């Protein structure tokens, strides 16, 4: 697999396809491109005649990590993303898609480089702004738990949490972050947030927002707020696994409509 060294980490990536517009697919916190595919979140699979760039964020999957929690904030991860795009497709406008942490990363990247993206697809937007403090406390507790008891304890405690209806048929998976790095990653996530609302209002990129119900860490309220802020956005809500099954087709339609 090709890699790129960025700010003390080696980013592992792959490109599917040899011609056509470039799509970059991100993943969520403690996940990876492989794990997201198992969860049905590989939305690029319905596209044809496109190059699809999939990569593991620093500290996740096959990518190596750094030891500073600040490197795992969404603004810093956006810097990694833009560096990767500059390496693979300098000057090219691309289509960006990603869930949760990927959504936060894409929003910061779009604020930093507004001309870089032809479209955005924001999947299961996480807690943000006023509600972020509550979620940050959860991440800090989880980081402490991993240091005391290991990743297994975190997985076991998570197995008792309510499952969103749209994930009812998803397989059980484990975090894809090394145990010694996981507390740092979680503490970095606790310190990050979306860009200010006034900055998001200035994003002119056509945006598709895909959300699901019944998930406190990815509340519909965040998706609704983004839909209100982003001037060229459309939101689709999934209430069952069948709703999520429609997402690859909706994503492909969104990308091809804005080429």
The H or E element that residue 14 is part of is strand 9-16
Nearest 5°: phi and psi at 39? -85, 5
Give the DSSP letter string of 84-128: HHHHHSTT--EEEEEETHHHHHHHHHHHH-TTSEEEEEEES----
58, 66 contact by CB (below 8 A): yes
Length of the chain: 259
Distance CA 102, CA 110 (A): 12
pLDDT, tens only, 200-247: 999 999 999 999 999 899 999 999 999 999 999 999 999 998 999 999
143 burial (CB, 10 Å; 0-12 / 13-18 / 19+) is: buried
At residue 157 the predicted structure's pLDDT band, cuts being 50, 70 and 90, is confident
Alpha-helix runs per DSSP H in the chain: 33-38, 74-88, 101-112, 132-149, 151-158, 182-190, 197-200, 220-229, 241-245, 247-257
According to CATH, the topology of domain 3-257 is Rossmann fold (3.40.50)
144-153 average pLDDT score: 89
Q: What is the pLDDT of residue 154?
A: 83
pLDDT, tens only, 38-80: 888 899 988 989 999 999 999 999 999 988 999 999 999 999 9
Comparing CA positions, the residue from 91, 68, 82 lying closest to residue 26 is 82
Q: Would the pLDDT of 101 be above 60?
A: yes
Q: What is the pLDDT of residue 160?
A: 45
Average pLDDT, the chain: 93
At residue 3 the predicted structure's pLDDT band, cuts being 50, 70 and 90, is very high
Q: Which of 11-25, 28-42, 185-199 shows the lowest mean pLDDT across its residues?
A: 28-42
pLDDT, tens only, 171-197: 777 889 999 999 999 999 999 999 999
């Amino acid at each position: 697999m090709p890699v790129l060294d960025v700010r003390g980490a080696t980013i592992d990536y792959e490109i599917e396809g040899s011609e056509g517009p470039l799509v970059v697919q991100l993943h969520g916190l403690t996940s990876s491109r492989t794990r997201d595919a198992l969860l049905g979140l590989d939305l690029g699979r319905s596209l044809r005649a496109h190059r699809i760039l999939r990569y593991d964020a620093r500290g996740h999957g096959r990518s190596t990590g750094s030891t500073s929690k600040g490197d795992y904030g969404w603004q810093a991860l956006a810097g990694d993303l833009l560096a990767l795009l500059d390496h693979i497709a300098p000057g090219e406008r691309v289509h960006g898609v990603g869930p949760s942490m990927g959504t936060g990363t894409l929003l910061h990247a779009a604020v930093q480089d507004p001309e870089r993206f032809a479209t955005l697809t924001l999947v299961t937007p996480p807690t943000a702004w006023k509600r972020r403090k509550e979620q940050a406390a959860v991440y800090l507790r989880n980081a402490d738990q991993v240091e005391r008891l290991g990743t297994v304890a975190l997985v076991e405690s998570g197995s008792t949490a309510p499952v969103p209806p749209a994930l009812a048929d998803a397989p059980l998976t484990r975090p894809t972050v090394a145990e010694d790095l996981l507390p740092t990653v979680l503490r970095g996530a606790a310190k990050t947030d979306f860009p200010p609302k006034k900055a998001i209002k200035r994003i002119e990129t056509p945006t598709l927002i895909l959300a699901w119900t019944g998930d406190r860490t990815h509340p519909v309220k965040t998706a609704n707020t983004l839909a209100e802020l982003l001037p060229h956005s459309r939101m689709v809500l999934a209430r069952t696994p069948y709703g999520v099954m429609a997402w690859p087709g909706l994503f492909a339609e969104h990308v091809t409509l804005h080429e």
